[in-house]
Structure 1
């Protein structure tokens, strides 16, 4: 498998180079040259396969022989060593829980898989030390910090917006130490992301450090998110209904991975991009104009993205045709008040605790199903509710039990370096 740049289709890359570099030389996102449909026999046997068997079949063509089969299986088994249950919430609505990993967020899958791949490539070659530079609006930072903790040959530098992530999210990315450094940025997530992109363009930094990104722009972070869509469909009783997945959407890597799974033959008939006030894609589907705006702070902070990087990949899956995309994607946005009311309502009526992002996913699914009665819906609960403790407890009027793994982090001391602008980031990276 080769990968091309979405800025320059003549540029080709191996999987290894795409993982190590993160972005193409022209700073375009990498995209696979071919998306092959999986054989019918695989889907006929899906119900009887293990998580690792499913994942290996799904990912192997995107890696080819660049990672030996036994090494790849080991990476997959470590990545998926927790559960991905699908649970009924109400008639026609089910939830896929993605928070049973070490940092209680869906990003554990991509971060662990990428750490395994990058760790293998470092052991295999003479790459020297690599710096993983990543911006986070919430859960990416904790998942990347945990996934790369102690991996030999890798330093991790995480930028996060001051005062705009939850206390637990902040603790998860600022308390680990070792090869993990957290930079607290006096600004919004978009400022963090812009600084990271600028660093990748800075020849002076590139001469000093070998940078790669662990955001979902990196193919090794993006592609493995397909795994849990297959694992979810394996658990569904379809009863002749079509399937729609509602995905809380910020940078659009998660929903893009689901759409890629559907292109490979997985039985998902439609997607809903559920967003908060940062509704650039909602507006695009209504107007056909993609107009990024500065992000707005909300209680579903991991989706506070004003210019979603992965949306260009979504468009590429549909050959850049607006009509083809609109047939398979709906998008709705919701206010914080609607989100809070939904957390309260679902807890009262179904005794199920939603986090703010899952609540937005539920709302989007409910809106779609209201006019599409022949569908069964699944929404993604992307993070454990306890990660947004104050918001959730206020909404449902109950105290949440804090898991032991989270409590252990809360008792640790925060260590972060405050920076104001790109000049200070550059100074840090060159020091």
Structure 2
């Protein structure tokens, strides 16, 4: 597979070069030249595989000659050594024998090591990058901006990887206490992963990363690489779980349309789903849930895309006013607004609505949602109001509620037990550098530590 810049299709790169370069020259986003198309017979074969083996087969379409089929199988089996469950709010798994009339499921993507969906993309990307650099003897400095979960997943995926240093930029006071503890306690004082608290918003962090990659001298001095979803090596693996889980859901309930609800910020998760659908995943529609930072939902309603400064909300990982992957979504649909709205529907919700929904779901079912998952589930319920026929609803559960224990405990007036990985992080001493949101400050810090 070759890749091209979304700004200029004549600018080309291999998968390895696109992954390590992060952005195309001129700041374009890398896009695959073509997507594979799977027939129903082929999807049936893939659906019968384990998730890891299905992911390896899908990945083979997107890589280059540096990866063999055996390499990909090893990478995916190592990366995806945790479950990918779909459950009802009552706790039943997606199984018509257990829940023959069930329609409403949560796809829990938070059973990886950092308890967030970002583990899926980060772990594949980390292993793929290490594989490439092992063959080429290259070194890289990763800059990643995070609104909460990306930084933890990337830091964990690249921790102690030889030849790679990771600098995680997060908004000071703009992530949950648990998230900050995760970000600032990885490794030890000599770790290759460093946390930087930026005195500003996530948009400031993201802009700093873009400015750094736009500075040729800085890129060359430090061999910069991004691990945000601007990197195609992050977006492609996010198609894997949509492809495989949609096959499981369709096999369980073959006569019903299939709709996914995605709580969305930077739109990388949605982009992965759209890629899966175009490859032949049996998905009928995507429902997008935004918080107050809703330029994409506005676009779906009006056809006008107006990025704006982000505002802080309860679902902080979605506090993004300029989603990076919007150009990719347009490119996947021929820059045609009508084509985008055929597959995407959206709604946005306030913090008050989100809190009420978390309380209601818990009261009625006992299920505890993180604020982001609650936004997605709210959007699914609103979408369903105008649909008369039965359909299978899958809300993407993006993070374990314990990652937002300070908010969820306040909302529910109950303790949220911390899983051991989080409890362990909470016992560690934080290490972070605080800096102003300027390229000069970032350059000075990289000069000392990269």
Aligned to 2:222: 209
Say whether residues 1:363 and 2:378 are aligned partners: yes
Distance 2:232 2:219 in 1: 20
> Which is further off, 145-154 or 67-76?
67-76
SS of aligned partner of 1:26: helix
Decide whether the 8 Å contact of 2:66 with 2:132 is kept in 1.
no
Deviation at 1:233, TM superposition (A): 1.9
Deviation at 1:71, TM superposition (A): 1.6
Aligned to 1:338: 353
Deviation at 1:277, TM superposition (A): 0.2
Aligned to 1:144: 154
Say whether residues 1:429 and 2:441 are aligned partners: no
Say whether residues 1:95 and 2:145 are aligned partners: no
Q: What's the C-alpha RMSD, in Å, of the aligned pairs?
A: 1.2
Which structure 2 residues correspond to residues 316-395 of structure 1 after superposition, within 5 A? 316-374=331-389, 375-395=391-411
Per-residue CA deviation, residues 52-96 of structure 1 (Å, 9 max, x unaligned), is 221122221111423122221111111211001000127521100
SS of aligned partner of 2:236: helix
Deviation at 1:217, TM superposition (A): 1.1
Decide whether the 8 Å contact of 1:15 with 1:66 is kept in 2.
no
Aligned to 1:225: 238
Aligned to 2:164: 154
Aligned to 1:77: 77
SS of aligned partner of 2:25: coil
Distance 1:351 1:126 in 2: 51
Distance 2:372 2:77 in 1: 27
Say whether residues 1:200 and 2:218 are aligned partners: no
Aligned to 1:132: 142
Uncovered stretches (5+) of structure 2, i.e. residues with no partner: 91-101
Deviation at 1:239, TM superposition (A): 4.5
Distance 1:299 1:251 in 2: 16
Per-residue CA deviation, residues 333-381 of structure 1 (Å, 9 max, x unaligned), is 0000000000000001111100000000100000111112332211011
Task: Give the TM-score normalised by the residue count of structure 2.
Answer: 0.94
Decide whether the 8 Å contact of 1:244 with 1:377 is kept in 2.
yes
> Which is further off, 35-44 or 348-357?
35-44
Per-residue CA deviation, residues 124-147 of structure 1 (Å, 9 max, x unaligned), is 0132x2101000000001000000
Q: 1:253 aligns with which of 247, 268, 278?
A: 268
Per-residue CA deviation, residues 162-189 of structure 1 (Å, 9 max, x unaligned), is 0010111111111113100111000000
Distance 2:201 2:35 in 1: 35
Distance 1:185 1:398 in 2: 32
Aligned to 1:301: 316
Uncovered stretches (5+) of structure 1, i.e. residues with no partner: none
> Which is further off, 92-101 or 391-400?
391-400
Task: Give the TM-score normalised by the residue count of structure 1.
Answer: 0.98
Decide whether the 8 Å contact of 2:247 with 2:281 is kept in 1.
no
Deviation at 1:121, TM superposition (A): 1.0
Deviation at 1:47, TM superposition (A): 4.1
Aligned pairs, how many? 430
Say whether residues 1:3 and 2:3 are aligned partners: yes
Distance 1:201 1:47 in 2: 42
Decide whether the 8 Å contact of 1:161 with 1:188 is kept in 2.
yes
Decide whether the 8 Å contact of 1:132 with 1:213 is kept in 2.
yes
Deviation at 1:235, TM superposition (A): 3.0
Distance 1:348 1:367 in 2: 19
> Which is further off, 359-368 or 235-244?
235-244
